[in-house]
Structure 1
């Protein structure tokens, strides 16, 4: 399949697959459309476009653009999302043919990375309409109020773009609270790359940070923007890896590079020294944020819009919603990368009810005592997984996605006084409602692997029951015959 060009091309593609519904009733972006979206997402429904938006003529709103993993695999043209992760690590793990002259394929694989590089362009459809900041452009966009007690309207899937060290593009999805027609507050938490840009500005005595917010792009770029890609990897490059083709970037007046296929672009400045209270907001944990924290002020200089613009908004709340599907996609994409860093990992599962930052279950090929704790500490030491509150480690023959088997492993393999690791006073997900202080809590690791003698004072672990192979084959044949005769009995 050809690479989807932009949001509109993606909508056409969804409709061709009969994976999109059109809502013709007039609905408001204040609570009504968000409520509809949650109802749709909980029902595992398709993508949706709202054709009449109350209070906003000539606007349309799309939602639930990432409804399931099959859709994501299809628009990325892969059978398995792990293929995307392999693209990133392939040049690092390819065998070098020292003893042969057959280097063409290897060099070809290594240089394929060049096709993922972003390219600058001087054309962008979003420049069709420009609204200057003094004309209150934020009042003209149908941003959501998603929950009754939210502090206001929010941009919920805006790709906030900054330049790191004036050369590396960072695109992160941070919520933005709208204050008025040309100002907002950007909620970039302390662990996010946008917050690092903010900190660097303060350290270098810079009062303003050039920033842009892109809303609506091709689905591969949007998926890249929400992925936890660590610094100094360029997010625009990572978008090319996900899409299997480099993206085109357009340079704004403030020097920030944005996807040229954006539907809406907000150009402005973050005032590094002006922090304002942001929230409350009903977030993905299913709670309103407390306590209210302060984040930097965004001043909008201008807004760019395509003709007949389409706004993309998502909603969060008690899982599973659209962010659960996105999280599962990211889990699969990053699995090969995790396995490269921690080779004993066999499989991983971030349960959607665990809100991803709350829990990870990982299976390992265990070879030595203490290995499960080694894996816990390794995960707590890298990237986004460092924010995970609870890590459960099971043996390689336990499927982390089979929660029943995981519970069995915990129940039978865990001696709490030896196999539960508690870390007090640790950094934590800023939104975790159990924190005593923002971004500061504790962690727990559960070693649910079978223990080696060294881990239990020399005692050998009991043998797991198994069938007699000859008897099992005989019974399997008899059982199969009954199954063929009357499947309704089973």
Structure 2
């Protein structure tokens, strides 16, 4: 007989204690940013479909109080808007994060006694960095060990139709370096493989992988603790790309953002510090001598499925929790999703550090269509020829920015978060071939289109105003002799009255700013290249700077959908080429599916799509959930 369902918490106002998930939920509920759903919902796909619709509408967070087959409520979408993410991190606006960090790193190193006294307040901030040890906390009010451990009792989501199973999607995974003792916390998805076993998605570049390798060399197991919930600032910190600075870890970052030290306590079955105010803690180990398990598929943040691969197993020895815990979850998939706002928080937080190394940077942005690493837009104060390439190559060398695939550099007066304006600048100021440069380097291992696993091409686009030296040696020579230099010709986009009809083109659209979007049904090798060459010879190409060839599932009426598909499906060195036309030239982006006959040996993954049956079920039940009305007849 199943145990009685736990009552959903009422979020009684806490006393003077550290912020946690439930106090944040209370704050959101008071502001009308969290809605309770008491209608029974299914953790298999139904919650995903509801949450996906809400996040794309900027809707509220949701507390599902009655999840079928589980004793615990589930909350999702806590940081599903820019405003809620700022609130979670204790700032009025995400831009305040940059000011907060800039204030800290702008230490006064001179000025005698006055200069030293000016640092006192900042030093007080630094004292908040390390966590504080407590003897006990809410996260250990209930303890399951031995046969009591059963992950199936938690409302872990089966997110997308082709997923390999249920996945823990918001875990704070804690390990310690077996040699140095340094602590790490990261967010790595965990597929449930049994009542007390999950996969551990540690990719080759991740710190958890390095800790596991050291444990293997030492012939020992690696202890692991996984926190679910806790301070929202700590949840964010687990996703942040921290620089390798001694003493700076995720607990320290959360402490600085929060202005108070994070409370930690020892685990029950592991010798690790765990967040004392978490909702759940999963304790256990990974054995480096054990064979790895097949993990996946998983509907990932790229909007495509990550295909099955081998990853280590995590064995759960204990589950501890509050008396009335709430299971926190998120979903990833086609952008925009909740992770877009976590990425934006990292942008703002690390902007001052990037400017310390590259002071000509004015701002930068990773648009949702680029799912973080696929596209970075940076504005600069340009001072000399080639300045854009200097900055782009510098960014490739900064931490996880090494995974960037396309970097677009614009002038300082261009708003980097105005997606349409950025691409207008690209069309107007970047001559294909002349102002574009391909190179190679590390690529995110989740990238399915790269030439090799974790290795592929990169593209730099210089969309800044050009100096004479950048438009040709003749112009530079005339300027040196004091002669008048003719201004660079201005690109004039034109929309053709009749678009050409080529093989396999299911839909197409030319835009007024010089782009041609194509949805191609690809049936044979090099079809996209042949299409680009045929288009180059057609009169319609005269007013075009960029030809974007996407797959047959792409909506050419949606700029975001086109670019999302293109950026996921290209290796720039292989798939982006400059073609000449009688009126100039254009850049062809081949974002169609790659075939084995073209030398692409890996399996091409499908885009994430919810099943029509689940969509119809959610449509029919929407009025029963008590959620805000959807925009139009459907959310999609």
Structure 2-normalised TM-score? 0.69
Q: Which residue of 1 aligns with 2:603?
A: none
- d(CA) in 2 for partners of 1:99 and 1:173? 44
- d(CA) in 2 for partners of 1:101 and 1:329? 34
Match of 1:184 among 198, 205, 214: 198
Question: C-alpha displacement at 1:91, in angstroms?
Answer: 4.5
Q: Which residue of 2 aligns with 1:485?
A: none
| 8 Å CA contact retained: 1:136, 1:180 | no
Q: Which residue of 2 aligns with 1:470?
A: none
Q: 1:112 to 1:276 in 2, by over 3 A?
A: same
Q: 1:3 to 1:323 in 2, by over 3 A?
A: farther
Is 1:364 the counterpart of 2:377? The answer is no
Q: CA-to-partner distance for each residue in 1:355-399, whole Å, 9 max, x for gaps?
A: 011101000001122211111111111112111111000111111
Matches within 5 A, 1:389-408: 389-408=405-424
Q: 1:198 to 1:85 in 2, by over 3 A?
A: farther
Question: C-alpha displacement at 1:141, in angstroms?
Answer: 1.2
- d(CA) in 2 for partners of 1:242 and 1:215? 19
Aligned residues: 461
- d(CA) in 1 for partners of 2:489 and 2:319? 64
| 8 Å CA contact retained: 1:452, 1:461 | no
Q: 1:310 to 1:79 in 2, by over 3 A?
A: closer
Matches within 5 A, 1:127-206: 127-164=140-177, 165-202=179-216, 204-206=217-219
| 8 Å CA contact retained: 1:281, 1:289 | yes
Give the alignment's Cα RMSD to 1 decimal: 2.2
Matches within 5 A, 1:21-60: 21-57=35-71, 59-60=72-73
Q: Give the 3-state SS of the residue equivalent to 1:417 in structure 2.
A: coil
Looking at both structures, which has the greater relative contact order when contacts are Cα pairs under 8 Å and sequence separation is at least 6?
Answer: 1
Question: C-alpha displacement at 1:151, in angstroms?
Answer: 0.4
- Structure 1 gap segments, 5+ residues each: 466-490
Is 1:268 the counterpart of 2:281? The answer is no
Q: Which residue of 2 aligns with 1:414?
A: 430
| 8 Å CA contact retained: 2:55, 2:81 | no
Question: C-alpha displacement at 1:98, in angstroms?
Answer: 3.1
- Structure 2 gap segments, 5+ residues each: 1-13, 477-484, 491-636
Is 1:112 the counterpart of 2:125? The answer is yes
- Which of these two proteins has the greater Rg computed from alpha carbons? 2
Is 1:437 the counterpart of 2:452? The answer is yes
Question: C-alpha displacement at 1:10, in angstroms?
Answer: 1.0
Matches within 5 A, 1:312-461: 312-424=328-440, 426-456=441-471, 457=473, 458-459=475-476
Matches within 5 A, 1:246-285: 246-252=261-267, 253-274=269-290, 275-285=292-302
| 8 Å CA contact retained: 2:451, 2:457 | no
Q: CA-to-partner distance for each residue in 1:299-343, whole Å, 9 max, x for gaps?
A: 111110211221011111100011112222222222222222211
Structure 1-normalised TM-score? 0.89
- d(CA) in 2 for partners of 1:382 and 1:149? 35
| 8 Å CA contact retained: 1:137, 1:302 | no
| 8 Å CA contact retained: 2:377, 2:409 | yes
- d(CA) in 2 for partners of 1:392 and 1:199? 37
